[in-house]
Amino acid sequence: MRRYVFAGGKAILTGAASGIGEALARHLGSRGSNLVLVDRDADGLTRVARDLRSKHPGISVTTVIADLSDREGTDRTGAELASHHPDTTLLINCAGVALGGTFDQVSLPDFRWLFDINFHSAVTLTHHILPALQRNRGSHLVNVSSVYGLVAPPGQAAYASSKFALRGFTESLRAEAEAWDMGVSCIHPGGIKTAIASNARVGGQLSAAEAKKSVDNINRSLTISPSDAAEVILRGIERRKPRVLIGVSARLPDVMARIAPANYMKLLRHFVN
């Protein structure tokens, strides 16, 4: 399959108001992509869109405010996106949230909230927009999983479950897409310096001290800038890479999981310590 062409294409991007999503929007704009930016943060979307229109007057930038934890609302958003943007050539499902605490410390409503955003929103939007991607030859679909879609450490039962589910969904779609002129990529970022840990929900059974310790531990491992991550992702899209691992913090766990699929956490703890 030929390389993906950004200039003149149209990208729908979720989670576009901050973090990796914002960085992707900025890099896509610099490559000449027309943009449809989706997020629940209206102020953040306005800021990003204003900057992009100022720096890249030759592209179109549309903003869509949507709460992807609302299944019915996400279904409506997907239908509207498909109707209003039939020329879409790139869909990037990047929106994601975190939930702190071991499985016995988190509530089922919080678990479902995370799954609705991290997994079900990607499934729903893909279902609506896939016909346009199939119709517009040379298109590409991207789902942003995580290093925790490769390994599942303690305290991440909800997050890892959603990212493993997204990985499986993406890999199955990739096999199906062999019959279409369409690329499919699954992205596995390692430690990216975003606010996902600081903004995470906390299980109701965690004390304030436990919650702070958890956030501090995660934040110390976040060393890669969102801009650098976005550049790696877009290079992977351009080259139609099926899997994109970002940073040693993703590549090392991937190797460990292959070497010792039942005991990789012991190996990782030994390596880190």
Half-sphere exposure of 115 (CA within 13 A, CB side): 12
CB under 8 A, 24+ apart: contacts of 162-166: 162/114, 162/115, 162/118, 162/119, 163/118, 165/115, 165/119, 166/93, 166/118, 166/119, 166/122
User: How many residues are given for the chain?
Assistant: 273
Q: Helix, strand or coil for residue 189?
A: strand
Q: Is 264 a catalytic residue?
A: no
SS (H, E, C) 113-125: HHHHHHHHHHHHH
The closest of 94, 78, 98, 74 to 27, measured between CA atoms, is 94
Q: What residue ranges in the chain does DSSP mark as E strands? A: 10-14, 34-39, 61-65, 90-93, 99-100, 139-144, 182-189, 201-202, 243-246
Which residue bears the tokens 């943060």?
41
The closest of 25, 91, 84 to 59, measured between CA atoms, is 25
The closest of 76, 70, 94, 71 to 12, measured between CA atoms, is 94
The pair of structure tokens assigned to 228 is: 């650098």
Supply the residues annotated as catalytic: 159
